[in-house]
């Protein structure tokens, strides 16, 4: 009986550790996206409009809270930020070679 209890306790400890690591990963990912968005001067409303994800879900994602389909949302969010960066870089390039006024 004691071994079963010890096995269950050890298994629970392992699951708790995995849960904590997953939560830490999502906290870090949320902070990365938040900082990147802010560095580009973008609002959460803009990201919501571009991705089709509600601002509330984006807030929870940025805070590292559980969000349904978080991996997919992170990918779309990242692609949106990359698109903005690329468009800005293209605008600078076009301006620098004198194509625009």
pLDDT at 98: 86
pLDDT of 2 strictly over 90: no
- Nearest Cα residue to 67 out of 58, 55, 76: 58
Contact yes or no for 29/65 (Cβ under 8 A): no
Q: Does domain 2-96 have CATH number 3.90.180.10?
A: no
- Taking residues 61-88, report their average pLDDT: 95
Cα 70 to Cα 29: distance, rounded to the nearest angstrom: 10
Per-residue pLDDT at 56: 96
Provide the residue ranges of all domains of the chain, joining segments of one domain with +. 2-96
Side-chain-facing half-sphere of 94: CA atoms under 13 Å: 9
Question: Cα(66)–Cα(86) distance, rounded to whole angstroms?
Answer: 30
Q: Mind listing the pLDDT tens digit for each residue in 35-61?
A: 999 999 999 999 999 999 999 999 999
- Kindly report which listed range (9-23, 29-43, 75-89) carries the lowest average pLDDT score: 9-23
Q: What is the pTM of this model?
A: 0.78
Residue 62 near residue 33, CB atoms below 8 Å:
yes
């Amino acid at each position: 009986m004691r071994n079963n209890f010890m096995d269950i306790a050890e298994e629970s400890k392992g699951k708790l550790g995995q849960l904590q690591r997953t939560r830490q990963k999502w906290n870090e990912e949320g902070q990365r996206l938040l900082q990147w968005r802010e560095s580009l001067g973008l609002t959460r409303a803009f990201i919501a409009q571009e991705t089709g994800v509600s601002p509330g879900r984006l807030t929870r994602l940025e805070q590292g809270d559980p969000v349904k389909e978080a991996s997919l949302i992170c990918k779309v969010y990242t692609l949106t930020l990359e698109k903005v960066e690329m468009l800005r870089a293209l605008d600078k390039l076009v301006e620098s070679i004198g194509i625009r006024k």
